[in-house]
Amino acid sequence: MRFILINSEAFAILLSDHMTHDSVRIGLVSISDRASQGVYEDQGVPALQAWFGETLENPVEYVARLIPDEQSQIESTLIELADTARCALVLTTGGTGPAPRDVTPEATLAVAHKVLPGFGEAMRAVSLKYVPTAILSRQVGVTRGGCLILNLPGQPKAIKETLDGIFAAVPYCIDLIGGPYLEARPETVTVFRPKSALRK
C-alpha cells in the first residue's frame, strides 16, 4: 500500500475537483412579433445563453421559447415553464416598453404569486447608467411557486449589463423559494448570501 502526502491546499483543490454543483433548468423567452415571424433573427435567447455559459458553475438545461407580443401566449408560456417544465428561473427579453404591443410586464404580473419590486427598480437603475430612456422600461420581477421570473431588455448589450448588475441577488432568492443552489464563477459575478445560507 502506498501513501502520498499532500498539503492542505492541494487537498482542497482535489476536493473542489470532485464537488458537484446542483443542476438547474432555466427558461428563456424571447418576445418579439418580428423575430417570431422570421423577419429577423432572434438575439435575445443566444445572448442569455452566452451570459449564463460564462457565469454559472452549475450544469444548465435551457428551455427556450420565441413568441410574439401576445399577452395570452406570454402568460401560457410562463405558466408552462414554471409549472410544467419546473424551471427554477425564467428570463424574458423584450416587450417591456410603453408601445401598444409591449405587454410582457402585464403578462408576468398576471401569472405571479408574489411581486418583487426591488428587481424592477434595480434593473432600471442599472440601465440608467447607460441610457436615459431606461426610465421608460416597465420590467418586473416575480415568483410563481418555486420559479423566479425576470423581465430583461431585448438587446444583447443591455441584457449583459442588466444581468451583471442584478444577478448577485438572484441565487439567494432562488434558495428562498426552494430552488437549486446556484454558483457563479468568481471572476464573473460575486453572488451574495448571508453566512447562514452558505453551503458548507
Q: CATH no. for residue 49?
A: 3.40.980.10
Examine residue 1 and state whether it is found in any structural domain, yes or no. no
Q: State the pLDDT at residue 150.
A: 98
Per-residue pLDDT tens digits for 126-179 = 999 999 999 999 999 999 999 999 999 999 999 999 999 999 999 999 999 999
Examine residue 38 and state whether it is found in any structural domain, yes or no. yes
Examine residue 73 and state whether it is found in any structural domain, yes or no. yes
pLDDT at 1 over 70: no
Q: Which helix (H) or strand (E) holds 178?
A: none
Q: How far apart are the first and last CA of the chain?
A: 32
Residues 6+ apart with CB under 8 A from 55: 163, 167, 184, 185, 188, 189
Per-residue pLDDT tens digits for 62-107 = 999 999 999 999 999 999 999 999 999 999 999 999 999 999 999 9
pLDDT at 18 over 50: no
Examine residue 79 and state whether it is found in any structural domain, yes or no. yes
Examine residue 81 and state whether it is found in any structural domain, yes or no. yes
Per-residue pLDDT tens digits for 107-127 = 999 999 999 999 999 999 999
Q: State the pLDDT at residue 200.
A: 77
Number of domains in the chain: 1
pLDDT at 2 over 60: no
pLDDT at 17 over 90: no
pTM for the model stands at 0.89
Q: What is the mean predicted confidence (pLDDT) over 16-41?
A: 87
Give the sheet arrangement for strand 89-93, strand by strand: 60-67, 24-31, 89-93, 147-152, 141-144, 114-115
Task: State the Rg of the chain over Cα.
Answer: 19
Q: State the pLDDT at residue 6.
A: 41
Examine residue 183 and state whether it is found in any structural domain, yes or no. yes
Cβ proximity of 141 and 111 under 8 Å: no
Alpha helices in the chain (DSSP H): 8-18, 33-36, 44-55, 71-79, 104-110, 117-128, 156-166, 170-176
Q: State the pLDDT at residue 19.
A: 60
Residues 6+ apart with CB under 8 A from 19: none
